Structure 1
Amino acid sequence: MTLLGKIMTNRRAGETQLAWNRPNLSGPELLTLTSQDFVEGAPIPLDHAGRRVGGKDLSPCLTWNQPSGDVAQLLLVIEDIDVPMTRPFVHGVSLIDPTLLDSPGHLPGGALSAREPAAGVRVLRSGVGRGYRGPGPIKGHGPHRYTFQLFALADAVDSTSDMTEVDRARPRAFLASLAVPVVARGRLTGTFER
């Protein structure tokens, strides 16, 4: 597997197709997204990596400042921009009701679990299954960047679409279908390497 990673070293999806760069998700960069588990550009701890690489698939703790104005819902998208594919791999998509969070502007570790999400969190489909999928890059491929992107939405997605369809939608189709104004956004990037 290490040989495959080395052969594919120069193949990477890149940032151009990140959710962040979708025209329908553009907005002012007013959110500061941080984690007590890692800082911007630093390695993501093993607990937050995928099970197949020895991790626990435990989503990291996330904290953000409260945006000004009315925010009906938050959208969190996690993508690996260094996967050797044509598009970044989606490691998680979640809708968050900020009024139902136990602590405003804060998600505890494990909040994005498909089986037991935190209060106010609705986990949607990821690239594989549902809920948070921790890093698990190809061995020997080099460091991968995992971008946590948080979008503050003026309207709730479930008030503008059928939630059954949202639950069934593939991540890229769901993100492309969003037509709600983004009032603020922020991102945090961590790395992982095998």
Structure 2
Amino acid sequence: MSDASGVSEQKRPPLPHEFLPPVPSFTLVSDDVVPGGELSGDQVHAGGNRSPHLRWEGFPEGTKSFAVTCFDPDAPTGSGFWHWVVFDIPAGVTELPAGAGSGKMEGLPEGAVHVRNDYGTRDFGGAAPPAGDGPHRYVFTVYAVDREKLGPDAEASPAVVGFHLRFHALARAHVIGTYEVPAGG
């Protein structure tokens, strides 16, 4: 059995949310990421390295902040690959413009915190799967958080942020784009 990308579902690593307690969902849309579609050159590491536009609504009452992540569960690392982790986004902010993850904090609200991605930089690091590795999934997730400040600081690892989100997420929504580099590409 294979999914829309033609890759066997049985061989695909699970999505990161499958390890977390179930929580309600809400609506997440993007002008740049079509669910199940291929990411544009802007979201590719060598092409533009630009975070996509994201907009959300329908999150639960009591939401006090948001966190946004991008994770590639298909990276050949044994632990996936974190492309973007930002949190402490105020509850009144329900949209990030394209390019908000530039690392310059332009387009992000005051107080938002970027931690290092797996490239080692505090920004959005675009898709860069190995050539011939097949399509990778890029899971953009917005978490509705039950506190204004999640707890970690900018020196935390994505895993530490994920630990805190496991206990403080009221709800989460995601959109998944794909990207692959053909063999010899």
Tell me how far apart the structure 2 counterparts of residues 156 and 179 of structure 1 sit (CA, whole Å): 15
The answer to whether the Cα contact below 8 Å between 2:113 and 2:154 also exists between their aligned partners in 1 is no
For residue 27 of structure 1, what is the aligned residue in structure 2? 23
For residue 173 of structure 2, what is the aligned residue in structure 1? 186
For residue 168 of structure 1, what is the aligned residue in structure 2? 155
Tell me how far apart the structure 1 counterparts of residues 164 and 147 of structure 2 sit (CA, whole Å): 14
For residue 78 of structure 1, what is the aligned residue in structure 2? 70
The answer to whether the Cα contact below 8 Å between 2:24 and 2:172 also exists between their aligned partners in 1 is yes
Q: Which one of the candidate residues 122, 127, 130 is aligned to 2:118?
A: 127
For residue 91 of structure 1, what is the aligned residue in structure 2? 83
Q: Which one of the candidate residues 45, 49, 54 is aligned to 1:50?
A: 45
Q: Give the AA of the match of 1:73.
A: S
TM-score using structure 1 length:
0.78
Q: Structure 1 residues 77, 167: closer, same or farther in 2, change over 3 A?
A: same
For residue 56 of structure 2, what is the aligned residue in structure 1? 64
Q: Give the AA of the match of 2:169.
A: V
Find the residue that maps to 1:157 and give its secondary structure: coil
Tell me how far apart the structure 2 counterparts of residues 125 and 185 of structure 1 sit (CA, whole Å): 21
1:48 shift after superposition: 1.2
1:181 shift after superposition: 3.0
Find the residue that maps to 1:93 and give its secondary structure: strand
For residue 147 of structure 1, what is the aligned residue in structure 2? 139
1:72 shift after superposition: 0.8
1:178 shift after superposition: 4.3
For residue 6 of structure 1, what is the aligned residue in structure 2? none
Tell me how far apart the structure 2 counterparts of residues 108 and 89 of structure 1 sit (CA, whole Å): 23
Q: How many residues align?
A: 168
Unaligned runs of 5+ in 2: 1-10
Q: What's the RMSD between the two structures over aligned residues? A: 2.1
> Does residue 95 of structure 2 align to residue 106 of structure 1?
yes
Q: Structure 1 residues 179, 81: closer, same or farther in 2, change over 3 A?
A: closer
Q: Structure 1 residues 124, 37: closer, same or farther in 2, change over 3 A?
A: same
Q: Structure 1 residues 116, 173: closer, same or farther in 2, change over 3 A?
A: closer
Greater RCO (CA < 8 Å, at least 6 residues apart): 1
Q: Structure 1 residues 169, 180: closer, same or farther in 2, change over 3 A?
A: same
Q: Deviations over 1:101-125 (max 9, x none)?
A: 4xxx211100112123323243222
Tell me how far apart the structure 2 counterparts of residues 188 and 77 of structure 1 sit (CA, whole Å): 11
1:13 shift after superposition: 7.0
Tell me how far apart the structure 2 counterparts of residues 114 and 125 of structure 1 sit (CA, whole Å): 10
Q: Give the AA of the match of 2:143.
A: F
Give percent identity, aligned residues only: 27
The answer to whether the Cα contact below 8 Å between 1:139 and 1:193 also exists between their aligned partners in 2 is yes
